[in-house]
Amino acid sequence: MKNVSGGLPVVCGCEVRGRQWIKGEHGYFAGSIGTGGGGSSGGAKAEKGLDKSEKDDIIKESSDNLIEITQKSIDSIPECTAFSSKELNQKVTEKCKEILTDLKNDKVGTEETVSIKLSSLESEKQKGELGEGAVKVISFDEPFVSIHNHPSGETFSGRDIDKFAYDDNHVAMCVIGNNGKMYVLQKKPDYGWTKFAMESFDIQYKADYAEKVLNGAENYGFEYHKK
């Protein structure tokens, strides 16, 4: 396998801050620099010491406080500025608007997800069951960014964080609230899932797990943006 770039990587013209891109048989994946874990094989997912099942791919909104999508909320979606690539920021913003537009006339509580390949900025989307507040994230065997809506307008859940943290190729996750609020969680250059697992062990099963990880994002190897 070979390192694609000696400095800041450029994937399909998109410079992605601080990640080391490795070429494997399934395309490019993000190698974790200096932390161990997560970067040794393309598309690898951590076992996290638990039995993994297809249920782990499903992100479910836990809040009962559901917000109806309006044109005002769609128009209020801010421009994404989380990434160093202008093209990627534009694509994420575009897809956030597309998700809420798709769901505007659906039963409140419905979720939709979009995943964007960094190699080409091509995307795929999938809608969850009407009103169920759950959707299965689309994963790729190469670096990607995922986006899904939260009917509550709230930020990342603990399940969101776990789905994101233990998939090497999942380099960033965006949540767009039904109220137009945007949240982005991005892996830092030195991120490694083994380090994250150790650092978060003591809070893993606590009710405020997600809140603690987001408030201390830098300590866990993430960058957290909200608008």
Continuous H helices in the chain: 71-75, 86-103, 158-165, 193-199, 209-215
Contact 96, 176 (CB under 8 A): yes
Nearest-CA neighbor of 194 among 21, 26, 49?
49
10-residue averages of pLDDT along the chain (227 residues): 33 40 36 36 44 46 81 98 97 98 97 97 96 92 98 96 96 98 96 95 94 97 97
Interstrand relation of 14-15 and 10-11 (parallel, antiparallel or unpaired) = antiparallel
pTM (predicted TM-score): 0.77
Contact 33, 190 (CB under 8 A): yes
Contact 149, 103 (CB under 8 A): yes
Give me the pLDDT at residue 143, please: 97
Distance between CA atoms of residues 224 and 21, nearest Å? 21
Give me the pLDDT at residue 182, please: 98
Interstrand relation of 123-127 and 170-177 (parallel, antiparallel or unpaired) = unpaired
Give me the pLDDT at residue 23, please: 37
In degrees rounded to 5, what are phi and psi of residue 126? -150, 135
Contact 157, 59 (CB under 8 A): yes
Give me the pLDDT at residue 131, please: 87
Task: Enter the tokens of residue 187.
Answer: 């892996």
Domain ranges within the chain, ordered by starting residue: 55-226
Distance between CA atoms of residues 200 and 209, nearest Å? 8
Give me the pLDDT at residue 78, please: 98
3-state class of 12 per DSSP? coil
Residues sharing a CB contact under 8 Å with residue 207, sequence separation 6 or more, in sequence order: none
Give me the pLDDT at residue 46, please: 55
